[in-house]
Structure 1
Amino acid sequence: MKPPLIYVLDDDDSVRIALDSYIRCLGFNVETFSSGRQLLASAHLVEVSCVISDVQMPAMNGFDVLAALQQMQPPVPVILLTAFFEDCLKRKALALGATAFLSKPFSSAEMLKALEAVL
């Protein structure tokens, strides 16, 4: 059986590379993207098990990506990340359907717990 496919979306190269490496070490397949439009145009979007997305990005932010993925049938689980944590953003994310809302920097245990809740 093929391991789950996880998409990582972040406009920061170092965050994208670190998440890619960590999630691969957990045994998952990973594809990374630097923009929401790029991710949503992916040919493998229907195969993705979870999307991990930054909130603050130019053009299309994490909430925009979350909204688009919630329109899919079935909706794609989304874990949102932010370096600018605010309770109101967390409430908004969860109300819009995010499965988790993590503050950067997050621990590997927090990310693992969020992934296990989805998969």
Structure 2
Amino acid sequence: MPAHRNVLIAIIDDDDSFRAAMEGLIRSLGYKAAGYSSAEVFLDTHSDRGVDCVVSDIQMPGMTGIEMKQQLNKIGSAVPVIFVTAHTDAGLKQRVADCGGLLLLRKPFDAQVLIDGVGLALGHAPPAV
């Protein structure tokens, strides 16, 4: 698999073990990964400067992932955001679409689904089957 040394994927999740697992998966694909424990930490320390894709939990203490995407929208950021969540409700899919989220993945999900989503976010063609 080719290295993608200049591509940075931000992982935002308050669950340390999930965040670490996602960072490891992203790095195994040859991308750089940066983990953040909250949407606020991401916005305060990195925002979307230099980030090619964001993978964010929706339900976190403080600012939700959707609220974070809305903040990115306000500053004119077009960084693609893939949302992940273990908690769903009837209107969640629509709220993700309304804020411009690229994908909504429900935990637990197959790693390949995330890999394909990152490829989509980065403009890569899906792998041939």
Q: 1:46-79 deviations in whole A, cap 9, x for unaligned? A: 1000111000001111111111122233421101
Matches within 5 A, 1:38-49: 38-43=41-46, 45-49=48-52
The structure with more radius of gyration: 2
Matches within 5 A, 1:39-118: 39-43=42-46, 45-118=48-121
Report the number of matched residues: 119
Offset at residue 43 of structure 1 (A): 4.1
Give the TM-score normalised by structure 1.
0.92
Structure showing the higher helix proportion among its residues: 1
Amino acid in structure 2 at the alignment position of 1:92: R
For residues 47 and 86 of structure 2, the distance between their equivalents in structure 1, rounded to whole angstroms, comes to 28
For residues 60 and 44 of structure 1, the distance between their equivalents in structure 2, rounded to whole angstroms, comes to 14
Identical-residue share of aligned pairs (%): 34
Find runs of 4+ consecutive structure 1 residues off by over 3 angstroms: none
CA-based RMSD: 1.6
Distance 1:2 1:24, change over 3 A: closer
Contact 1:66 1:96 in 2 (8 A): yes
Offset at residue 92 of structure 1 (A): 1.1
